[in-house]
Structure 1
Amino acid sequence: MIKPKQKFYERPGLWKILLAVALGFAFLAFLLGWIGFGVPDWQAFTRNNGTTQEFYGLWAYCQQAPPFYSTVCKHWGTAATQIYNGSRPNFISTADGLMTTGMILLSLGLITGIVAAILPLLCYVAGILTFLGFLMIIIGLPIFGEQSNSLSKLQGITNYYKRYGFWLMVPTIIFSFIAAILFIIAAFLYQRYGFGNIATHSYSRRPQGGQQNLAPPNMIPGIPPYGVRPGMMPYPYPPPGPLAPSLLSQYIAQRMPRYYGPTVVRPVVVSAFPQPSTSGAGGQPVYVTPAYYRPAAVRSAYAPTVNLTGRAVYAPTVRVS
């Protein structure tokens, strides 16, 4: 029998490949994101008629002064008091909150994706967390980029540009989006076609040691170890194999006849007159062999008539010697 050709997305192990790729993209987004998130090299500028280069990020404000251009950085809480009259710009706080939330969600998505190698349905949770982190970062990054340029223009600075910390968040956004989509696709393929976890063998093996290969889903049982699709079956369909009797039928067929106690034998008087019934005379019913166990009786024409019904019976006269 010809085994039906399997589509590539129906392979039971495809979800493992997608999960591994998703974890790779999520790890790259995690690594690049935290590096860019932690460094102060986001917006840099040089004031007009000055030689000191200044740059800042989400957490710190730094300056590089000649002649040695050694870097001096201070936390925004201290730098805002000295430069921005005690409060850092509003867009810094907004971008800081969005980017922090996004990176936390992205980290949780990566951790959940690793656990999903053992519990594959957690790929749905990993995909949702990663996608939410992607949304937070993609909202916070343009806010910082646009507002930082506006602040430099407002201060009359003409020489300003973005540094590597800002640009590291761009591949973080791309990788996190790809990872979120792959997580969800891997979870769907596992739920539809997969089984086991990342350590389960997904290739077909010949039955060995008492093992049996099951037919693919939604298929009519056929010659083992595979089934046959309905379109490949001859018409009319062959009759199904014999069905095993139900447990109730087996119980009824194997049940022994009920025991009613010892048989009471009472003498029968042969007379031409009707006789009273003997049923129940001993207080217990007379054991009667079922009809399917008792052979057909051959009665002689001269046999006496025995009344067991309790009604009058009219029979021919019998000579008693």
Structure 2
Amino acid sequence: MLYRTIGNRREVSALCLGAMNFGSTTDPETAFAILDRFVEAGGTFIDTSNNYNQWHGRGGESEELLGRWMKSRGNRDELVIATKVGAKSTRPGSPDDEHWEGLSATAIESAVKGSLDRLGVDRIDLYYAHIDDRRTPLEETVATFGRLAAEGVVDLIGCSNTTSWRLDRARQLAANQGVAQYSVVQQHHTYLWPNPPALQGIERLGSPHYTHAGLEHLDYLTEHPEMALVAYSPLLSGSYAHLNRPFPASRGYAHPTAYTRFETLRHLSQSLNATPNQLVLSWLLHHPQPLIPLFGASTLPQLEEALTATTLALTPDHLNQLNNA
């Protein structure tokens, strides 16, 4: 396993295991086996949220399963657990774009108590603002996260699904208030680039909701090396592994340039005796900016495939081929 440092002080595995479906579409026995193998391989970084998996239940099932697993294994202090607040529906079982908890002080303070209880912990290692809430003054959100950090309820704080300018403004406000700043940003990022309309975001919480890591995010990381990017959904829900499965148009990948770029990926993976998934993860791990791929696995073979990516060495020529495709 490779390791990275986030927040200038917390070492985490260079692969982050997503637990979104654990306890819902991935049954507890399988989820426990995946978690055990991830830790056995040196994995320490696990990602969840207070709203997972509200599409198939009430939300919070993933946190609850992780809590049971950590208690049964006695390994809580060996792990870095990330969870989130802001995107949970206030109408359980029927999430929609009109009824999100948001990022007010009241919402955050209520949500963190629920996450602590479900996870069975007294501190959250990394706490994200899940989606940007422009209904709430950013000063209020920043101050609330800062207070939780100062009280030791959370260690590091981060944000997800937001623009680089909102990220920078939040960090400036935190500096002005003398509280902890966001040190991690989690955005959707993969080898393929989405088309321009996909980068414009969708409407949620009464404002544009940006999910992709655009060029400005990567440029921001270059200028702020103390920041880290956690790249979620890097494997595009299995699209790289199935030639007969089109790339998701809803995320902006069904366009000619993406398929041309994929051909380069596919041919190089064959020459390296690797899978396209492994090559995507390895390419992300070789990124010049601090970047941690966040992947999901619903079976042990899927996990093993991802773990092997950490040993796939790419030469400057390989990276040149991929970067300039």
Same fold (TM over 0.5): no
Normalised by the size of structure 1, how large is the TM-score? Answer: 0.19
Whichever of the two has the greater Rg, that structure is 1
Task: Tell me which of the two structures has the higher relative contact order, counting C-alpha pairs closer than 8 angstroms and 6 or more residues apart.
Answer: 1
Normalised by the size of structure 2, how large is the TM-score? Answer: 0.19
